[in-house]
Amino acid sequence: MTSVVVVGTQWGDEGKGKITDFLSQDAEVIARYQGGDNAGHTIVIDGKKFKLHLIPSGIFFPEKSLLLGMV
Q: Which residue from 40, 45, 46 is spatially nearest to 17, judged by alpha carbons?
A: 40
Of 26, 37, 41, 53, which is the active-site residue? 41
| pLDDT at position 69 | 77
21 has catalytic annotation = no
- Residue 48, phi-psi category: left (phi > 0), alpha (psi -120 to 50), beta (remainder): beta
Q: How far apart are CA 37 and CA 35, in angstroms?
A: 7
- 62 alpha carbon, distance to own chain's centre: 14
| pLDDT at position 70 | 65
**Positive or negative, the Cα torsion across 9, 11, 12, 14?**
negative
**Residue scoring higher pLDDT (11 or 50):** 50
pTM of the model: 0.62
